[in-house]
Amino acid sequence: MSLSERIKRLAGLTDEPGRPRARVLAVAAQKGGVGKTTTAVNLSVALARFANQRTLLVDLDGQGHVATSLASVYEDGSPVSMSDVLLGHGRDLLEIIHPTRIDLLSVTPSDKGLASAEGVLAGRIGKEFLLRGALRKARERFDVIVLDCPPNLGNLTLNALMASDACLVPCDMSILAMAGVADLLAVVDTLRDRLDHQVQVLGILPTRVDRRNARVTDAVLEGLAETYGELVLSTHIPVSSALARAQMEGIPVFDYDASATGSVAYRALSEEVLTRLGVGAALPS
């Protein structure tokens, strides 16, 4: 038995057949500001609202932007925080699930302690498996769990990838974001080779696609297509002021303006994600 199998067994992480299991999807990118949170939030809302998926959105970024983005639909839950769960203070992730006013959507918020959790986790044995263990019970209660990652490839992102079946990588129209995609995919390869954990790269999501800046946009889209081929999603997220405005108001973009280009794109993304996850193609309209 490999070392990683032994660690998993000791931590009680081996899968038990017959149990219902949510698909876990990490929204991760090394570069900041590429639309990870906007994607995690609006994708989660679309999965719950348009596809009837019981969805849990987990904020793994100490900036707490998921709670800000959904402030108006958020309902208070327990004061236990994500860092209590990850740092093993005897807390279960189920304790920090907040319901929202959107049917079928729940959220686990982050806390400022998550930033220092990065450093504390560094010294823990089996540190990459903590979130995976914490999500075990939640996987029985939801259909899809979406993880919003911080903008780096540190321990929290590693935990997210180790807890995930698949990852979705937003990439804005910049060379820096493209370089970040390569770094993230190298980490996915390392997890497969060293920790025997296979994360499906669900796709690279072009974000902030700006037709008014055609030269740069075309160059980045061509570069992504040449390097990653079918891994690039056919859904593109355009620059859409409705996305930023909805975030400021603490509501999903669909409630701000259902016909905005950002709304249409995120609804299409939810369909493509479900198809790529193999969950189901046709969504109720």
Whichever of 122 and 244 has its CB closer to ligand ATP, that residue is 244
**Least distance (Å) between residue 238 CB and ligand ATP:** 6
| Contact footprint for ligand ATP (CB under 6 A) | 32-38, 61, 63, 65, 151, 207-208, 237, 239-240, 243-244, 247, 262
| β-pair type (200-207, 144-148) | unpaired
CA distances from 227 to 185, 216, 220, 231 (A): 12, 16, 11, 9
Whichever of 24 and 40 has its CB closer to ligand ATP, that residue is 40
**Residues β-bridged to residue 98:** 107
**Least distance (Å) between residue 65 CB and ligand ATP:** 5
Cα gap 63→86, rounded to integer Å? 16
Question: What amino acid is encoded at 118 in this protein?
Answer: E
* Residue 37 makes contact with Mg ion by CB under 5 A: yes
Site string for Mg ion, 90-119 (x = CB under 5 A): ------------------------------
Phi, psi for 74 (deg, rounded to 5): -90, 140
With CB under 5 to 8 Å by kind, the binding choice for 278 among ligand ATP, Mg ion, none is none
**Least distance (Å) between residue 27 CB and ligand ATP:** 8
Whichever of 235 and 247 has its CB closer to ligand ATP, that residue is 247
SS3 at position 205: strand
* Residue 44 makes contact with Mg ion by CB under 5 A: no
**Least distance (Å) between residue 150 CB and ligand ATP:** 6
Question: How many other CB atoms are there within 10 angstroms of residue 21's CB atom?
Answer: 15
Whichever of 34 and 97 has its CB closer to ligand ATP, that residue is 34
Among 23, 36, 136, 267, binds Mg ion (CB under 5 A): 36
Specify burial of residue 108 (Cβ count, 10 A radius: 0-12, 13-18, 19+): buried
* Residue 42 makes contact with Mg ion by CB under 5 A: no
With CB under 5 to 8 Å by kind, the binding choice for 128 among Mg ion, ligand ATP, none is none
With CB under 5 to 8 Å by kind, the binding choice for 157 among Mg ion, ligand ATP, none is none
CA distances from 115 to 119, 122, 139, 152 (A): 8, 12, 25, 11
Minimal CA–CA distance to 34: which of 156, 206, 243? 206
Q: Could you list the residues that contact Mg ion (CB under 5 A)?
A: 36-37, 65
